[in-house]
Amino acid sequence: MTTEAKIQLTSSELGTLWMTYQSTTASLLMYDLMKEQTIDKEAKSILTSYISEAQNIKNEIVKVFNSEKAVIPIGFDERDIIRETSPLFDDFFHIMYLRQILKLNFQQSAIFSAMAYMKEVHDIFKLNYDIANKYYVMTTNYLLAKGVLTRPPYVAMPKQVEFVEDKNYMSGFNILSDKRSLNTIEVGYINESIQANVFGTQLMTGFAQVAKESEVKKYFIKGKELSKKIVTELSNIMMQSDIQPPSTWAGKATDSTNPPFNDKLMMYITSLISSSAVAFNVLGTTYSMRSDLQIKLGLLSKDIFQFAKEGAELMIKHKWMEEPPQMEDRNQLTK
């Protein structure tokens, strides 16, 4: 009689599940508090329904960890929020926040799924993607119906297939010649980055208002100024091609100075969004075919990376950064 060997969790699966557990516990806490503070019935219903479904992701990760006899990460819990406090953001921003984080779930779930070998792990990332897709559509339709979400620029539909015939198509630095207009792929990435940083400006504004540690408050203010810089520079690029950049969203921070979240949770969320922004800008650079645009996006990615690095150092200083599972140190074990 043969005994089939049990498929074990790989290092990459352990790491991706660990990251997903961290982001899921942090997000669920914030959504739960936002739900309590949301007045609009439809917005509250969306948040309530999402929390119920997303809880299954956390539960399934715990099942895998328990099955593999792996310690459950601390993540985030009730100690990281302050209930019975005034709202830091308005109802529209609550849904915009959910929509923005769902975009991160798309990215992570697709990548992490491709790194999975165990069926249970693959199923978790598929579940995460499916839930994110469902509520991304729901939040987008809600915000469009309320008139607070700007669509990307429209363009005349092409009438015939064109091929690039001039190497100057990829040029953007020659001051003696006009830059070509942005193509639709470039506009898509720039528009998305502008929207993300308009969102980031409001998020950092709110976090700065309620941060307790002075250096954390300064860090959020720095993040707000960085987001404003990115919005300005990318909007200027669109305007040079006579393209109207997206207007400011209606969702915003309130005037509250009472913290609903502790500094640890706000720093983690900022780190999560900053890291994603670096990856997105690099992707935008890859797909851009105008040299000046590649350099501009590259420089902005450098600024975002530096900001994220400073945040990580700040989290380590305050002992807010939970350490990911480590590989065995073979050199140490053989001593």
Give the confidence band of 4 by pLDDT, cuts at 50, 70, 90.
very low
Residue 5 in this model has a pLDDT that exceeds 60: no
333 pLDDT tier (thresholds 50, 70, 90): low
pLDDT value for 41: 97
Q: What is the pLDDT of residues 168-198, one digit of tens each?
A: 777 655 555 567 888 888 888 898 899 899 9
Spatial separation of the C-alpha atoms in residues 225 and 26, rounded to whole Å: 25
Task: Tell me: pLDDT of 3 over 50.
Answer: no
Say if pTM beats, i.e. exceeds, 0.75: yes
Q: Does residue 96 carry a pLDDT above 60?
A: yes
Supply the CATH classification number for the domain 175-317. 1.20.1260.10
Q: How many CA atoms lie within 13 A of 225 on its CB side?
A: 8
Which of 72-76, 168-172, 306-310 is predicted with the least confidence, judged by mean pLDDT?
A: 168-172
Burial (CB count within 10 angstroms: exposed 0-12, middle 13-18, buried 19+), residue 57: buried
Using DSSP, state whether 163 is helix, strand or coil: coil
Domain boundaries of the chain, sorted by first residue? 11-145, 175-317
**Highest-confidence segment of 179-183, 224-228, 288-292, 328-332:** 224-228
Structure tokens at 229: 């810089």
Nearest alpha-carbon partner for 107 in 226, 272, 301, 223:
272
Q: Quick one: pLDDT at residue 14?
A: 94
16-30, 38-52, 247-261: least confidently modelled range = 247-261
Determine which of 26-35, 102-111, 217-226, 326-335 has the lowest per-residue pLDDT on average. Answer: 326-335
Query: What's the pLDDT score for residue 184?
Result: 87
Q: How confident is the model at residue 2 (pLDDT cuts 50, 70, 90)?
A: very low
Fold of 11-145: Ferritin (1.20.1260)
pLDDT at 92: 95
For the segment 122-135, the average pLDDT, to the nearest whole number, is 96
Banded pLDDT at 327 (limits 50, 70, 90): low
The dihedral of CA 109, 112, 114, 117: what is its sign? negative
The predicted pLDDT at position 1 comes to 38
Mean pLDDT for the stretch of residues 46-64 = 97
52-56, 115-119, 243-247, 300-304: least confident range: 243-247
Output DSSP code: residue 115: T
Nearest to 240 by CA among 187, 303, 197: 187
Question: What's the pLDDT at 328?
Answer: 64
Q: What is the mean pLDDT of the chain?
A: 89
SS3 135: helix
